[in-house]
Structure 1
């Protein structure tokens, strides 16, 4: 989801190890992350390694005791006691851990969370009106959240709805980018990678199984497939996983042939 370095990587891993599945904790962590991003002095104080941990823990307790869940407060105390490579890493880490907490709150439905986030991302990418409504700075956060509720209430898991609302906060370049990053975290929580697959026609269950098995063998851990049906593919399969693109479509071969002839 985010690129952490050195000490921050270790700090994030430790926080992820201890966070439990809880929508309440996730919501708390998202709120504190937003608070840290908007309050530079607080962010710098909380990540100043030269200050004693007791002082930072004391400030966190003073600010958040009674305002967040007890489990959240313990995580925050742990977080400010750790070393961070960059000041901004703390807020990014708390959001990341919040995403993990939200996904874990879905228990054994992490795959469904990935599918639902992908479906919402596809809808956002395909609908300019929806994309503009969700990114409109003139609309209040509560108005955008109500729009998400109207679209997803009763149609998606609570964890998915919580993550879609978090995607609206502007912590990523766009709503679609945030949703894609959250998909990856949701898959990673259950030790999976995510592959986006473009095909001309829907894959059968057997085709999807065989493709997933082949990618699993190649990448060393289970792969969750997000399938996009695109008539422009003509035939074959295009797969994007991590930074790799495997393009075996007829369209790509025709394009290559045209370029060769033109050259």
Structure 2
């Protein structure tokens, strides 16, 4: 991350953290407003004028006020005013920072009122449904055939009646925001953040055949000791791994499978 963006992010977080802490459970509402504001800034687009290095910080802060005062909670408007006064190397960095702050606010507010586990479960279940329904998954993936708003409307139709407002706000962001891995990767990021607030780490475990209860217990104990947090195993079966186990924790992968060993051997022979 470039120096200007990094410094502004740090200053923003320092100013926003006590505000979010004092907001308690209302952080969920603030987070939803931040994500909606980020979408409006990106869609119109307003990120250029709000980050223009040729304009004074106060001029950009005044623009933020004209755009959102009276429409959003004043704490959210003040957050944007402070960010507009900062320096951003790329306009898109402002929107990215707002996305992070919005997600964190929703989860922090849910943590304050004891519902973060419910939101984690809702978002995880949405991810599972998308993963199991190929037609739905393809319809929600970024494509030239559909607009982002069409995909968001589809997500609203499928999940809106079943999810809480904070969880649905996160699902909309996951569908709208382009990222490698599509909506499911974004959903997983949200689930991981929710788990971290509860001092848990999620480990995806893939084996060729189901593990026994004793094997799961040993693996759980090993990972808990190594990571220093409570660990939740998300197990799945893939006969293609042949034998052994593949473990993915965030972006880190531990691969002790026969398929991996064979691939390594082939690479060595080819080299």
TM-score, structure 2 as length reference: 0.74
Please say if residues 29 and 166 of structure 2, whose CA atoms lie closer than 8 Å, have aligned partners that are also in contact: no
The runs of 5 or more residues in structure 1 that have no matched partner are none
Residue 147 of structure 1, CA deviation? 4.0
Structure 2 residue aligned with 1:13: 13
Moved more, 122-131 or 189-198: 189-198
Moved more, 18-27 or 151-160: 151-160
Moved more, 152-161 or 29-38: 152-161
- Residue by residue over 1:152-210, the C-alpha shift from the partner in whole angstroms, topping out at 9 and shown as x without a partner, is 45654543322112212144342223223323333344455442221345667775565
- Residue by residue over 1:65-85, the C-alpha shift from the partner in whole angstroms, topping out at 9 and shown as x without a partner, is 111123322322232233334
Instruction: Give the whole-Å Cα distance in 1 for the aligned partners of 2:30 and 2:176.
Output: 17
Pair 1:97 & 2:105 matched: no
Identify the match of residue 218 of structure 1 among 218, 222, 226: 226
Pair 1:36 & 2:9 matched: no
- Residue by residue over 1:3-49, the C-alpha shift from the partner in whole angstroms, topping out at 9 and shown as x without a partner, is 67632441453366243553332222122212222345x32332245
Identify the match of residue 238 of structure 1 among 218, 235, 246: 246
Matches within 5 A, 1:188-199: 188-199=196-207
The runs of 5 or more residues in structure 2 that have no matched partner are none
The 1:262/1:70 distance shift into structure 2, 3 A limit, reads: closer
Instruction: Give the whole-Å Cα distance in 1 for the aligned partners of 2:220 and 2:115.
Output: 18
Matches within 5 A, 1:78-97: 78-97=82-101
TM-score, structure 1 as length reference: 0.76
Matches within 5 A, 1:25-64: 25-40=30-45, 42-48=46-52, 51-64=55-68
CA RMSD, 1 decimal = 3.6
